[in-house]
Every structure is written in C-alpha cells, then in structure tokens.
Amino acid sequence: MAENNTLGDSLRRHGVSRRGFLKFCTATASLMALPPSMVPAIAAALEKARRPSVIWLSFQECTGCTESLTRSHSPSVESLIFDHISLDYHHTLQAAAGEAAEAAREAAMHENKGNYILVVDGSIPLGNPGYSTIAGISNLQMLEETAKDAAAIVAVGTCAAFGGLPQANPNPTGAVSVSDIIKNKPIINVSGCPPIPTVITGVLAHFLTFGTIPELDQYNRPKVFYGQSIHDRCYRRPFYDKGLFAETFDDEGAKAGWCLYKLGCKGPMTYNACATTKWNQGTSWPVESGHGCLGCSEPRFWDAGGFYNALSVPISDNSQTVAFAAAAGLVLGAAAAGLNYKTKDEAQKAHANVTVDDLEKTS
Amino acid sequence: MSVFEQKGSEAVSNRAMPGMTHNTLPLLHEVRHALERLLRTGESTIIDLRAIPFGPGDEERLLSLLGEGEVAATLDALGRTTVRESRFSGVWIVDHYNSEAERIAFQLEVIEIPALLRAQTEDMYQSLGALDSVLNAEMHGPE
Ligand code: SF4
Ligand code: SF4
C-alpha cells in the first residue's frame, strides 16, 4: 500500500549518493523527454515525492501493453521509480486471484480514495457485458467503480485510448475506449499497439515527480511524446523531401534506405516517439528496420485502409465510433502537411486510397 | 562499382548520400553555438542525444567527429557513467548506464566541467562525519 515516506528518504536508505541521485534525475528527465535544464526542478520535486498507489485494470486486451511495460522494468533507475509506485492491483502481475484480488482492489481504493492512479489497458465491450468479465464483474461496472475515486486515469495502449483492434470493423463486442465512458476525470491516453515502454514509465514518472499530469494534445496524449509526427522526426525524411522512394521491399531504393511512403508508411499521419525513443532499449525502430509505420498510436489505425497502401484514409464508420470518425479526420487534416488537400479530400469522400502518383499528378 | 552494388544497406545509405540523412552536422553546429555561448556568457548547455532522431551510423559518425580529449572519468553510481572530454575542449560526452549495462541517458555537455564530476555538498557533509569517525577510532581506538 502507499506509504508516506518520500523518494528522497527511500533513496538515502538505499545508500544512494547525491551524485547517484543527480544521475537518477538526469535519467528521469530523459525518460520524461524533458530538457536536461529541468534536472534541478526534477531533483527538488523527486526529493519530496510521495509514493502513489496504482490500480491497473485489464479489459479486452492481449497483454501486449503489460509485456511492453515489464520489458522496460530493468534494475536501477526505472526500478527505483517502480519500487516507489505501489502497484496495488494488477490482474496479470499479482499473485492473488478471484475474491482475494478483488479485496485488494477495494482496500487500495478505500485507503487511497481520491489519490490513486488508475491504469487501464484494453477496451470495454458495451455490446454484451458477458464478452469480458473479471470475478463476475463486467468491465463497464469495474471501470466506473474504480474510476470514481481515482486522481487520474492512464489509458495505456490504443485499445484503452481509442478502442483499438477490438473496435475494428465490424466491432463485434461494441468496444469503446475509456474516455467514451468516463467524462469527469483527467485521462491520459498513452496510445500505441503496444505503447513504447519508456513512454508508459515516463508518464508514471511525471505523475510521481510533479504530482500532476503532463501537457496533453487534442487526443489527450502527452505532448512530450506525441507532439511530433513520426514523419517529422524520421531520419529518412530527406529522401521523402527529394522524392526518393523505395518501390518494393528489396529494390535498390530500399537497400539505400530511401523513404517508405509508397510502401504504405503512415508516418505522416502518426504521432508517436518511435523515431527518437526507438524500441528494445534504443536498438532500432520499425522504419529503421525497413518497414513503414503502421500508425498504431492513432485512432482507428486498424481500419485505415491497408498497411501496405500508400497513405490511405479511414474507409468506413461503424455505429459505436461516430465521434472517432470526426477525430480521425482531424488527425489526417492536421498531419498531412505538404500533401494536396484537394486530392485527399476527394479521396476521403470516395473512401479511396491516395497514392504518391495521384498527388504528383494533381499538385 | 556503383553504390548499389556495395553490400549492406547501412554502408550504402551512409556513404552514398552524404548529407541526405544524418543529423550529425546540424548537431555539430548546435555544439559550436553552445561553445561560443559558453565563452561569451558563461552559460552551459546540455544536449540530450536520445531526443535526436539518429539514423543508422549517425551516432558513430558524431562520436568519431568529436574524437577524444585529455580527460576521461568513470562514475559508479546506480550503474556506470562515463564522462569523456571530446577533442574540443569544453565539449563532453556523458554516457549513463544502469546496473544492467543498459544506456539510460546519453548527453553532450558544453560546460567547463560536468556537474556530476564535482563533489556534491551533501556528500561532503557526510564525508565530514565519516572522517570524524575514522579520526576518533584512530585516536581513541575501537570501543
Ligand atoms: S513517409 Fe515514413 S519513411 Fe518516409 S520520411 Fe515519412 S516517416 Fe519516414
Ligand atoms: S513506427 Fe508507427 S506503427 Fe510502429 S510502433 Fe511506432 S507508431 Fe506504431
């Protein structure tokens, strides 16, 4: 359960020197994608940080998001952050099951009323509560119950943030996102399929450090990680700007590292931190490995017209997601800088794909 | 031999089109401005290299351009940190690892001496206490 000692106290108890603490703050700034000039402020805040209680609920999900997070759980800096978070309930990671687990959730909710962070992965089925239940409780009921006294909610993964794969056409379970249901709490969407592990940790570190939620974009995603498109940060961008595109995955352009736009890269409409944060401890990221971005951190990416079609637009709507149709339109509108808007609008009306050739013809 | 006949896409993309990808040179310009600012106003700069979109080979190219200077230090606190002066005085490469030898931060510091190398006031107070105990024990023997 959450304790009252501060992070400063617990680090000193672990025998961490002041230099070690400064290094910890430097790594935390880097983790939160904040500039190094913020380190003194982070040091002052972390010195006083108290241990927040976290309740993690998993609904219609594949456990990929938890996998992503636990892969980032390496000893030292990150683990010090995690040691300092009291993870009071997590279906997958906790030993307790059934009624004992539910008792732990209720106890954490009661003891930390109004102060705990609720993390959710997975979408919520509204079609029939029987599609997904935990200890006989429907996902909807558990979410409403647990959200009621939370300080803030972190929707981890595209399923919790936007509906994700379960919501893809024809959305058999009537899947919706957390923010479709909860309207009166701050919600931080950490989208991605899965989200980048350090982005999950970075958001929790921000809450731990400052006790507040980070600045958010129009989809409630933290701006520090989702403020720029994949395309804007892509090291292949100079090739795009010069019109040098790989046409197949093994042609000379592909071997020379040219832009993957014609092979379906959704980088221009996708906002995420992959191009800088990278994956697998900073080893590489999809575009660096030679595959276009799928747009996994955007609403309705699954229905965006084929992963290998050059920049396509969402094809059709379904009954559960009328609101998201407008939202997806916004993303495309905002992100498609440099494209021929008229062509894209016409294609959107006709529900067709736009190719580079189409754009070249009309621009 | 045409560039495309070379083996390996990295070799091709790095050598064939200098300046086509690569954030190395813009970054080096930034370092130059920072060094000028340090000399003019005394203001230091830290650049978080993990926030820079590096392509394959960029980091190696940057490090080879920066070269090695006279000072290198290792810090053991929550894992290893190496602090190396580049061949440009005042430009330092600071690389932080955790205890699993995974990189947790990677920075260029444009400063007279990186803050982490200085003795920290809190640690010096602790040392004062520790020195007192040593002197006490040496002068009066163990209790
Ligand atoms: S289209 Fe894709 S591969 Fe090309 S520059 Fe943009 S993000 Fe990079
Ligand atoms: S490159 Fe695109 S599809 Fe791949 S993980 Fe990043 S945002 Fe998702």
Q: A236 in ligand 1 pocket by Cβ < 6 Å? A: yes
Q: Which fold has domain A51-226?
A: Rossmann fold (3.40.50)
Ordered DSSP codes for A23-90: HHHHHHHHHTT--GGGHHHHHHHHHH-B--EEEEEE-B--SHHHHHHHHT--TTHHHHHHHTSEEEEE
A18 inside 8 A of chain B by CB: yes
Distances (CA, A) of B105 to A21, A23, A160, B34: 14, 9, 30, 20
Q: Which ligand is nearest to the CA of A258?
A: 1
Q: Which parts of A162-276 are beta strand (E)?
A: 175-176, 187-190
Distances (CA, A) of A77 to A25, A80, A81, A82, A199: 9, 5, 7, 9, 15
Among residues A159, A162, A172, A179, the alpha carbon closest in space to that of A126 is found at A172
The CATH number of B4-118, from 3.40.50.720, 2.170.190.11, 3.30.1370.140, 3.40.50.300, is: 3.30.1370.140
Q: How far, rounded to the nearest angstrom, does the alpha carbon of residue A65 sit from its chain's CA centroid? A: 9
Q: Where are the domains of chain B?
A: 4-118
Q: Is A227 exposed, middle or buried (0-12, 13-18, 19+ CB in 10 A)?
A: middle
Separation CA A225–CA B51 (nearest Å)? 10
Separation CA A260–CA A239 (nearest Å)? 9
A77 contact residues in B (CB cutoff 8 A)? 78-79, 98, 104
Q: Is B65 exposed, middle or buried (0-12, 13-18, 19+ CB in 10 A)?
A: middle
In a mutational test of the B interface, the residue from A9, A18, A289 whose CB has the highest number of chain B CBs within 10 Å is A18
Sign of the torsion formed by the C-alpha atoms of A115, A116, A122 and A123? negative
Which residue has better confidence, B142 or B56? Answer: B56
Q: A302 in ligand 1 pocket by Cβ < 6 Å? A: no
- The protein residue with its alpha carbon nearest to ligand 1, atom 1, reads A261
For residue A80, what pLDDT is reported?
54
A74 contact residues in B (CB cutoff 8 A)? 98, 100, 102
User: Which of A15-24, A96-105, A228-237 is most confident?
Assistant: A228-237
- Report, as an integer, the average pLDDT of B65-94: 95
The superfamily (CATH) of domain A228-340 is Cytochrome-c3 hydrogenase, C-terminal domain (4.10.480.10)
Q: Where are the domains of chain A?
A: 51-226, 228-340
Q: How far, rounded to the nearest angstrom, does the alpha carbon of residue A181 sit from its chain's CA centroid? A: 18
The one-letter amino acid code at A340 reads N
Q: A263 in ligand 1 pocket by Cβ < 6 Å? A: no
- Which among B19, B50, B96 is the nearest to A276, CB-wise? B50
Q: Cβ A76–B20 below 8 Å, yes or no?
A: no
Contact A163/A175 with Cβ under 8 angstroms? Answer: yes
Separation CA A35–CA A26 (nearest Å)? 9
pLDDT reading at A327 higher than 60 = no
A23-52: pLDDT as tens digits: 888 888 887 778 888 888 888 888 887 777
B98 contact residues in A (CB cutoff 8 A)? 27, 74-78
A243-273: pLDDT as tens digits: 999 999 999 999 999 999 999 999 999 999 9
User: Which of A173-177, A207-211, A278-282, B51-55 is most confident?
Assistant: A173-177
SS3 for A169? coil
Query: Cα B118–B123–B125 angle (5° rounding)?
Result: 120
Q: Which long-range contacts (CB under 8 A, 24 or more apart) does A111-115 make?
A: A111/A1, A111/A2, A111/A53, A112/A1, A112/A2, A112/A52, A112/A53, A112/A88, A113/A149, A114/A149, A114/A151, A115/A2, A115/A52, A115/A53, A115/A151
Mutation probe of ligand 1 site: the residue of A228, A229, A230, A232 with most atoms within 8 A of C-beta? A230
A301-326: pLDDT as tens digits: 999 888 898 885 443 333 333 333 23
The one-letter amino acid code at A320 reads Q
Question: Residue A71 C-alpha to ligand 1 middle, in angstroms?
Answer: 27
ipTM higher than 0.90? no
- A22's enclosing H/E stretch is helix A18-31
Separation CA A50–CA A53 (nearest Å)? 10
Q: A105 in ligand 1 pocket by Cβ < 6 Å? A: no
State residue A178 phi and psi, 5-degree precision: -60, -45
